[in-house]
Structures are given as C-alpha cells and as structure tokens.
Amino acid sequence: MALPTQPYKGARDFYPEDKRLQKYMFGLMRRVAESFGYEEYDAPVLEPLELYLAKTGEEIVNEQTYTFEDRGGRKVAIRPEMTPTVSRMVAAQRQELAYPLRWYSIPNLWRYERPQRGRLREHWQLNVDIFGVDTVQAEAEVIQVAAGILKAAGATSDMYSIRINSRKLMDFVLKDYLGLDGVQRHTIAKLIDRMHKMAHETFVAEADAVFTPSQRDAGASDKLLELLKCTAIEQLPAEVRSDKSALELMELMNTMKEARLSNAIFDPTVMRGFDYYTGIVFEIFDEDPENNRSMLGGGRYDGLVGLFGVEPVPTVGFGFGDVTFENFLRGHGLMPPMRPETDVYAVLIGDVFAKAQPVIAEMREQGVNVAVDVSGRAPDKQIKTAVKKGIHYAIFIGERDLAIEQFEIKNLLTGVAERHSIARIVSIVRDYRSDD
RNA sequence: GCGGAAGUAGCUCAGUUGGUUAGAGCGCUGGAUUGUGGCUCCGGAGGCCGUGGGUUCAAGUCCCAUCUUUCGCCCCA
C-alpha cells in the first residue's frame, strides 16, 4: 500500500510558490510592525496545558486544542493562540522590560476543528501587542498597525471596515441599562455575537426568550434592538453615552478620524469570543461580498499578565491570520506578481561545466543568484526548464563565449537577447531586479 | 461534534438502463534539433476509477462503511 502524499488534515504544504506568497505577506507584516517600533519575539510551540485553562474560552481548551501527555506525565498543549504565551513571557521579566513595550510575532498555531473556508487546523498569525499603556492611545496605535499592513498590501479603505466596540460598554448596557443578571448577560452576549448570521426575527425571538416578564414589560427587547442599530457613539441613549466606557470609545473614534481611518466605525455587535478581553474590542471585516468575514481581531486584555502572580500590565493586541489575509488579497485582486529567487539560469552548451566555473562564481560574488543547468541536455530543453521555473534571464555559456569573454544574456519574458561582458550582465540583472 | 455535496491520469473532465482491454483535452517526457523556449510533426510514460466490504454471471456505475476535500452549523485564535 502506497503512503498518502497529502498533508495532515487541515494543514498545508508550502511549495516554493506558496512559500513565496507567505514570505510576501509576512514581509509586509514585519515591515509595518517594525515601522511602529515593534520588536519580534518567538516561543515554543508546546506549552503546559494549564496556561490555557484560566482565561481562554472553555470550548477552545476542551475541544479545539491538541493535547497530549509527555513521558514525564506532564499535560502538554500545542499552542492554539499566542496571547497567553506572550503574557507569560512579559510576566517572567515584568521588572526588567521597558514600557511601553511593543512586541510582535508570527507563530504557527493549531486548533482541532473541522476545516472550512478561511479556517484550517494550522495557520500562522501575526500577533501585535503593546504592554503598559492604559489609555486608548494603545488601541489607536495597534489599529493603525493593522490598517497599515492592509494599506501596504495595496488595499483601499472601501475593501475593509474597522469595527470597534467595548466590552465595558456592553457590560454597562446589559447590566445597568437593561438590568440583566449574570446568566442573562452571558446568553445575550453570545446571541449578539451571532446576530448577523441569523434572521432578524429569530434574533428577536431568542433575545425575547431570555428576558423576564418584568424586563419585557420595561421594554428591554426594544431598548436592546435600538441600541444594536447604532453606528456611532452619538446615537447611543444619553444614559449609556455618559458612561466612562462610551467616552473612551469616543476618544478612540476621534483619533481614528485624525489618523484618516475613514472606515473605522462603532459597531455594538462586535463581541469577540475570548473571555480575557476587558475593554475595547475591534475587528477588521473583509468587505468582499464573497468573503464577508472578520479577518482580524483584537482588543484590550488588562488581566492576563497579572495571572502569573506579578503586578498586572495593561495590554492591547490583535491577531491577524495568514489564511484570511490571503483570501483578502485574492478577493480584491491584490496578489503581487511573484518573482523567483533565482535571477539567472545558466545554459551550458557543450561540455563546459568546469570551464564555466569562474564566470558563474563571479556573478554570484556580485550578488546575482545563478542556477546552472547540469543536465547536459540540448539548449532548447534547458531554456524550457528556465521558463517553467519562471526565471527571467538565461545566460548562454559555450566554448565560443568563454574564448571571447562575451556572453549572451536573454530576457526570457521579452525574448530579447544581448551580448555583453560578465560585468555588464551583472549590472543589467541587478538593475532589473531592483525595478520593483 | 452535527448536516449537505463531491472524489476517474499531474490538472480539468467524459464514461449511456451495470456489459469486452477505462477515454479526451491540457500538462509531462523523448525525438525531429547539443548555439537558443513558446509554433508544428512523430513517439512514450502515466489509472487498484479515494479505500475496505457487500449485491451480481458481470461494478467506475448499485448498497454500506470509512478516509479526504468542500459548503454550512456549532465555535471563532
């Protein structure tokens, strides 16, 4: 029986062309994050299971985390997210670090669930976090990092929307404004999270079923619906609008405006699944009608670092997955032209492999990436290979060329061939490469 | 974890109410052609018809299970 060639369920192989796209996406992420002063860190793929028990959502730990017991009887998890890990790292050096601390990482993460569009079992996720800032200036900054990556990818503001809400505000709404108890709040919160996926009548009916008769008489249902319709803080009822959390949101929205992020809106239906969020939460939505989904999300989690027994550190961060990013790029026609790493394909004519070495070495020393065809096949076959690999230049090396130290360099995309010295060829290829 | 759809060559697919030795296009590969790719001509390789079981004289085709992919639900880093 033959071994299967397909990768593990929900995981991907990265062939060179796939890896090229990944390098492009990660490159954008790194460049933009570093332009804001973020420093890259990393950590093990394995963590003790306890790390996730405290604050990650229950279902994620119990059903969506890969776990096993090691030979020493320790319960181990393959990291399903990076936030607990980075909190652990910050807590470990709580006193030594320089705040505000700006860190980013692009870890691969695993979740055990059924793969579907935009969600696999293994994915890579940019994590951007700022530690030690308790004002909404932190939120404003990380949102700008997120938007900056999309902008660097060539996205325009109509392609996505930045939707902002606040856990504190929703707590105030559900507890003080609507007077719900703990269980009711939890149920309604989950319901709001699903709101856009269900028929409006279903939502109304399910929400109504949560309220007690006296709450219903007090118009809880209508109050909730009215509130969820708001798309700006100013539209909130006066009682809600004067809460501290609303003022905070207003300040953030104002900064968004100053930062020219015109597609940032207040959206009370943005809840986020994790239990550890404590304040502002936000998502960036892909506005592609074929792919209308949250592609990036984050928020404030001031309580996590403190779980490790040190003084708490206020924190804001977001995660941005490679799968949703790739869908976004494809959906909006933002896929970049992929250029192979190899600049020049050396076509050898006749048995000149040994004699050609100095010429090839010279090109490489000058920074040109050269792949040599060592197949001994006819020149036309060698060219076909170069074309198939997508290499842009071929250099022809035969006895004649070596004798006069002039070589033909052919642009395989245009078919144009010229004859030059190696020095000249090197400069032509370098100029061409730095074109874009 | 729950429900729908689909698996035939590397890719896209055809294959009649079950009936000889399973096909096409593209791709791959060799030659025409060891000093120049895309066009043309000639040749070649490549399939346990996803896997296992069942029904039948006979299964790519019908039934069951299973795996994988995909769409949705749950959930959502």
* Average pLDDT value for chain A: 90
Greater confidence (A436 vs A200) lies with A200
* % chain A with pLDDT above 90: 60
- A80: which nucleotide lies closest, measuring CA to C1'? B77
Q: What is the pLDDT of residues A329-375, one digit of tens each?
A: 988 889 888 888 999 999 999 889 999 999 999 999 999 999 999 98
What's the pLDDT score for residue A61? 65
Amino acid at A301: Y
What's the pLDDT score for residue A159? 93
pTM of the model: 0.91
- A114: which nucleotide lies closest, measuring CA to C1'? B1
- A347: which nucleotide lies closest, measuring CA to C1'? B36
Q: CA-to-C1' distance for A116 and B6, Å?
A: 15
**E runs forming strands in A100-179:** 101-105, 108-110, 122-131, 160-166
Q: CA-to-C1' distance for A2 and B9, Å?
A: 17
Cα distances from A107 to residues A23, A248, A363, in angstroms, run 14, 31, 36
* % chain A with pLDDT above 70: 97
Stated length of chain A: 436
Q: CA-to-C1' distance for A404 and B35, Å?
A: 15
What's the pLDDT band for A185 if we cut at 50, 70, 90?
A: confident
Strands A122-131 and A108-110, by their bridges, are antiparallel
What's the pLDDT score for residue A2? 59
- The 3-state DSSP composition of chain A as helix, strand, coil percent (nearest 5) reads 45, 20, 35
Q: CA-to-C1' distance for A271 and B15, Å?
A: 52
Contact A312, A278 (CB under 8 A): no
Q: CA-to-C1' distance for A16 and B19, Å?
A: 47
The structure tokens listed for A40 are 């890259």
Q: CA-to-C1' distance for A163 and B47, Å?
A: 52
| C-alpha span between A419 and A356 (Å, rounded) | 16
Measured in degrees and rounded to the nearest 5, phi and psi for residue A113 equal -160, 175
Measured in degrees and rounded to the nearest 5, phi and psi for residue A297 equal -155, 155
Q: What is the pLDDT of residues A48-104, one digit of tens each?
A: 988 887 655 565 666 788 888 899 999 899 999 999 999 999 999 999 999 999 999
Query: What residue is closest to B73 (Cα–C1')?
Result: A197
Nucleotides of B under 7 A from a protein CB: 1-3, 28-38, 48, 67-77
- A401: which nucleotide lies closest, measuring CA to C1'? B35
- A118: which nucleotide lies closest, measuring CA to C1'? B76
Query: What residue is closest to B70 (Cα–C1')?
Result: A116
ipTM: 0.85
Q: What is the pLDDT of residues A384-420, one digit of tens each?
A: 999 988 899 999 999 999 999 999 999 998 889 999 9
Query: What residue is closest to B29 (Cα–C1')?
Result: A381
- pLDDT reading at A291 higher than 80: no
Q: What is the pLDDT of residues A296-312, one digit of tens each?
A: 999 999 999 999 999 99
Query: What residue is closest to B34 (Cα–C1')?
Result: A378
What's the pLDDT score for residue A95? 94
DSSP A304-367: TGGGGTS----EEEEEEEHHHHHHHHHHTT-PPPP--S--EEEEE-SS-HHHHHHHHHHHHHTT
Q: CA-to-C1' distance for A9 and B4, Å?
A: 20
Q: CA-to-C1' distance for A81 and B35, Å?
A: 57
- pLDDT reading at A1 higher than 50: no
